[in-house]
Amino acid sequence: MRHDFLDRYSRLGSPIHRLPTALKLLATFSLILATVAVPFSSLWFFVVAAGLLLIVAAVSAIPWLFIFKRLLLLEPLALGIAVMALFQPNGTTIFLSIVTRSTLCLFTVILLSNTTPFENLLRALGRVGAPRILVTILALMYRYLFVLIDEGERITRARMSRTFSTNRVRRWQALASLIGQLFVRSTERAERIYAAMTARGWK
Partner 1 sequence: MTVAISVQNLKFRYPDGKEALRGISFEIADKECVGLVGPNGSGKSTLLLHLNGLLPESLPKSPDVMIYGRALGRETATEIRRDVGLLFQDPDDQLFCPTVYEDVAFGPQQFGLSEQKLKVAVMKALEVTALAGHEHRSPHHLSSGEKRRVCLAGVLACEPRVLALDEPTSNLDPRGKRNLIQTLKSIPSTKIIATHDLEMVVELCSRTIILDQGTIVADGPTHSLLGDEQLMLSHGLEKPHILRHLHPH
Partner 2 sequence: MHIPDGFLDAKTAGATAALSFIGLGSSLRHASRYLPARKIPLIGLAAAFVFVAQMLNFPVASGTSGHLLGATLAAVMLGPAAAVIVMSTVLIVQALLFADGGIVSLGANVFNMAVVGPLSGYGLYRLMRVVFRGEYGRLVAVGVASWFSTVAAAIFCAGELAWSGTVAWDAAFPAMAAVHMATGLGEASITMLVIASIARTRPELLNDSIPPATVRERSTGFVLVALLVIGVLLLVAPHASDLPDGLEKVASTLGFEQRAPANPNIPAPLEDYKLPGAGSASTATIVAGLIGAIAVLALSLLLARVLVPRSRTIPPFSPAQREGEV
Site for partner 2 in 114-153 (CB under 8 A): 118, 121, 131, 133-134, 136-145, 147-149, 152
Give the footprint of partner 1 on residues 107-146 (CB under 8 A): 117-119, 122, 139-140, 142-144, 146
Which CB atom, from 14 or from 100, has the smaller least distance to partner 2?
100
Q: How far is CA 191 from CA 128, 186, 199, in A?
A: 31, 9, 12
Least distance in Å: CB of 66 to partner 2? 13
- Interface with partner 1 in residues 64-103 (CB under 8 A): none
Torsion angle of C-alpha atoms 199, 137, 146, 152, degrees rounded to 10: 90
Nearer to partner 1, 54 or 196 (CB): 196
Chain positions 157 to 186 lying near partner 2, rule: CB under 8 A, are 168, 171-173, 175-184, 186
DSSP 8-state symbol, 8: S
Q: Which does 4 bind (CB under 5 to 8 A by kind): partner 1, partner 2, none?
A: partner 1
List Cβ neighbours of 61 (8 Å cut-off, separation of 6 or more).
12, 14
| Straight-line distance from the first to the last Cα atom of the chain, in angstroms, rounded to the nearest whole number | 33
Which sign does the torsion angle of CA 40, 42, 43, 45 carry?
Answer: negative
Is 68 one of the binding residues for partner 2 (CB under 8 A)? no
Report which residue type is found at 13: G
- Residues within the interface to partner 1 (CB under 8 A): 1, 3-4, 7, 117-119, 122, 139-140, 142-144, 146-147, 189, 192-193, 195-203
